[in-house]
Amino acid sequence: MERINLSDNHRRSLSSAIYLVEKITVEIENELCNPIDLVMTKIASDKTDAELERIQTVLVEIKAYIEYMAIKYNLKSKNLDLNNVLRAQKSKMWEILCDSTSKGLRGYGKFPDEFAAEFDKDIDDLQDLIKKI
């Protein structure tokens, strides 16, 4: 394989794109291999065993091709501290919930006054649990 030297800007852009493709590939793989029973999401398989096996094979090929491209284009991998990853994810959850208070939901119509205090307390309690991560 001939290695191709991209400009720093092109390499950073491609690295970001390939990073996201890899992340989504792993998410798909986890859904297929380790389905999680969530409260808010239920995934019903509409695929045959043969189709699932084919998809898993393709996912392995995608990950191998990502490795090939990383070498070919000299893409830099990210070294992340778990603590930084957790902080970033907690911040995302916090931001989502900040927009989900009774006041934050006003853009969808008037929130019932009789439920606002209880609702906001539930959001606060969930945020308190997130802080414990």
The per-residue pLDDT for range 37-79, each reduced to its tens digit, is: 889 988 888 999 999 999 999 999 999 999 999 999 999 898 9
Average model confidence (pLDDT) across the chain? 94
Q: How far apart are CA 49 and CA 29, in angstroms?
A: 14
Q: How many residues can be counted in the chain?
A: 133
Tokens, residue 123? 């959001």
CB 15: neighbour CB atoms within 10 A?
A: 19
Q: What is the pTM of this model?
A: 0.78
CB 94: neighbour CB atoms within 10 A?
A: 13
